[in-house]
Amino acid sequence: MAIFGRGGILTNSLVDRARTDVLGEFHRAGIATGALENVRVDLGWVCLDDAYGYYEPDGPGVILLSRVTLARRGEYLGRSPWTSVRDVLRHEYAHALVHHHPACVAAPVFPRVFGALVDAPGPVGPWHPDLHATPYAATSAGEDFAETVMVYLRGAPPVRQGATVLRRKLGYVAGIGARAPARRGRRTGQGSRHAQVVSVGGTLG
């Protein structure tokens, strides 16, 4: 139900449903692990900066969301499209994936695809739709990876044939699941949805 314009105040039940759905997507992509399932999602009240959420790597890890955040001020007023809780969780769980399974973003393959090491500060280059899954992806290699995972799990839209870099990034994410051992909970069911990408990713390790 809309509370402010087209937006809304997040609730525990909404976040719980979104978490279940997103972890199901990680399972189907073959990149779910026990460590990811143990990451806690906490819902606070108000965030006074431009963040939809945070991942804190303490212990098993925790994703911090807020019922209301200044990051959504345009959304509350109906001036910007609503950013789904599922998208926020897809992004933050991608950071958790890096934290718990750094082998999946290891050199030398990751920097060849994303332009820098995953923890390198600052942008690799300016935003371009043929290079990045979203504008925010252009802020750093780590955010580029998280946004690429988000779009991949959501179901990547058709990528322009000439967008070789973006296709390789999506392929990198696909490759993580493709190379993961079966014991890590890999399930089938996403082949046709991501048929455009080429598997070049790292492993969960």
Side-chain-side CA neighbours of 41 within 13 Å: the count stands at 27
Lowest mean pLDDT among 62-71, 115-124, 152-161: 152-161
CA angle, residues 184, 149, 160, in degrees to nearest 5: 130
Residue 6 has pLDDT above 90, yes or no: no
- The DSSP string of 35-54 is HHHT-EEEEEEEE-SS-SEE
Residue 182 has pLDDT above 70, yes or no: no
Instruction: For residues 41 and 115, give the distance between their C-alpha atoms in angstroms, rounded to a whole number.
Output: 30
Residue 181 has pLDDT above 80, yes or no: no
Report helix, strand or coil for 34: helix
End-to-end CA distance of the chain: 42
Q: Report the candidate in 139, 39, 50 with the shortest Cα–Cα distance to residue 95.
A: 39
Per cent of the chain over pLDDT 70 is: 84
- The model's pTM: 0.88
Residue 196 has pLDDT above 90, yes or no: no
Point out which residues pair with 69 in neighbouring strands. 47
Residue spans of the domains in the chain: they are 12-184
For residues 133 and 94, the answer to whether their CB atoms sit within 8 Å is no
What is the mean pLDDT of the segment spanning 92-104? 97
Mean pLDDT of the chain: 87
Residue 82 has pLDDT above 90, yes or no: yes
Work out the pLDDT band at 180, boundaries 50, 70, 90: low
**Between these two residues, 136 and 183, which has the higher pLDDT value?**
136
The predicted structure's pLDDT at residue 14: 95
What is the mean pLDDT of the segment spanning 82-86? 96
Instruction: For residues 35 and 62, give the distance between their C-alpha atoms in angstroms, rounded to a whole number.
Output: 11
CB atoms within 10 A of CB 93: 27
- Dihedral through CA 108, CA 54, CA 33, CA 23, nearest 10? -120
Q: Report the candidate in 24, 133, 116 with the shortest Cα–Cα distance to residue 125.
A: 116
